[in-house]
C-alpha cells in the first residue's frame, strides 16, 4: 500500500493536476456569468481550481520524498 501512494506516476499526476488547476484558475471568473443572479458556477470553478492545485502539491511532495529516498539508497 505504501508503494501505491508514492508511485512512479507521481510526475504525471503532478503535471495533470497542476494543468487542471491552472485552467480552472483562468476559467472560474468567467464561470460566474454562467448562472443568473447566482455565484454557484464561480464557486464550483474556484473549488475545482483549489482542489486540483492542492492535489498537485501533494503529489509533488510525494515525488520529492521518493526522489530523496532513492538518492539515499543510491549514495552510501
Q: Where are the domains of the chain?
A: 9-74
| Cell numbers linked to 42 | 464561480
* Nearest Cα residue to 6 out of 53, 51, 55, 67: 67
**pLDDT (tens digit per residue) in 40-70:** 877 888 888 888 889 888 888 888 877 776 6
pLDDT of residue 1: 40
Residue 34 or residue 52, greater confidence: 52
Question: Cα 13 from chain centroid?
Answer: 7
Total-model pTM:
0.68
Please say whether the dihedral angle defined by the alpha carbons of residues 32, 34, 38 and 41, taken in this order, is positive or negative.
Answer: negative
**C-alpha dist (Å) from residue 11 to 15, 21, 73:** 6, 15, 20
Amino acid at each position: 500500500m505504501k508503494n501505491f501512494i508514492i508511485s512512479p506516476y507521481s510526475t504525471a499526476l503532478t503535471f495533470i493536476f497542476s494543468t487542471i488547476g491552472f485552467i480552472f484558475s483562468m476559467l472560474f471568473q468567467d464561470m460566474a456569468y454562467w448562472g443568473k443572479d447566482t455565484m454557484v458556477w464561480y464557486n464550483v470553478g474556484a473549488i475545482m481550481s483549489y482542489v486540483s492545485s492542492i492535489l498537485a502539491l501533494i503529489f509533488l511532495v510525494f515525488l520529492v520524498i521518493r526522489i530523496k529516498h532513492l538518492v539515499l539508497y543510491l549514495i552510501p
